[in-house]
Structure 1
Amino acid sequence: MSQNKIVNALSYLSIIFAPFIFPFIVWLVTTDHQDMHETAKNAFLLHLIPLVLTILTIMIVSITGLTTKNSQITGIMLIILLVLVVLVDVAMFIYNLYLGIKILITD
């Protein structure tokens, strides 16, 4: 198994132990290896999606809570957005695991 293949798989599988940090470091370091560079960039962007969605959800619920003064609307919005964010987060986690394992399995 080549070193490139292991680093490419670890870029996706790092969602378990170092999300978006490991792929970012690999992306910065591997400018001369195009395959590793592109895979690390894709993994980094896939790892950022749950983080950005979570931050946006917190901002939307906070702004809604401050502007409406209606706790029922804010609570309902919070529950709906949290369910959506959790679903997307779990889907991205499973997708990253799939991509990492796929790289390790393929010849």
Structure 2
Amino acid sequence: MSQNKIVNALSYLSIVFAPFIFPFIVWVVTSHYPDMHETARRAFILHLIPLVLTILTFMVIGITGLTTKDSQVTGIMFIILVVLVALVDFAVFVYNLYLGIKILIAD
């Protein structure tokens, strides 16, 4: 198994142990290996999606809570958005695992 293949797979699988830190380091260090560089960039972006989405969701909920006087609206929005974000975060997590395993088992 080649070193590039292992690093490419770890870029995706790092969502379990070092999300967005490992792919970022690989992306910065491997500018002379186009395959590893591109895979690390894609993994980094995929790892950032849940983080950015979660932060934006809580900002929207906070702004809604501050600007509206109705706590029921804020509570319902909180529940709906958190469930949606959790589903998207889980889907991105599983997709990263899938891509990492796919690289490892490919011939």
Place the TM-score, normalised by the shorter chain, in its bin.
Answer: over 0.9
Cα separation, 2, equivalents of 1:70 and 1:29? 50
TM-score normalised over the length of structure 1: 0.99
Matches of 1:17 and 1:5, distance apart in 2: 18
Partner Cα separation in structure 2 for residue 105 and residue 5 of structure 1: 10
RMSD: 0.3
Deviations 1:8-58 (A, max 9, x none): 000000000000000000000000000000000000000000000000000
List alignment gaps of at least 5 residues for structure 1. none
TM-score with structure 2 setting the length: 0.99
- For these two proteins, the number of residue pairs brought into alignment is 107
The residue that corresponds to 1:82 in the other structure is 82
CA drift of 1:90 comes to: 0.4
SS at match of 2:17: coil
Name 2:51's counterpart in structure 1.
51
Any idea what the Cα deviations from partners look like across 1:73-104, whole Å, max 9, x if unmatched?
00000000000000000000000000000000
Q: Which runs of 5+ in 2 are unaligned?
A: none
How far is 1:69 from its partner? 1.7
Partner-residue secondary structure (3-state), 1:84:
helix
Q: Within 5 A, what are the aligned runs for 1:1-107?
A: 1-107=1-107
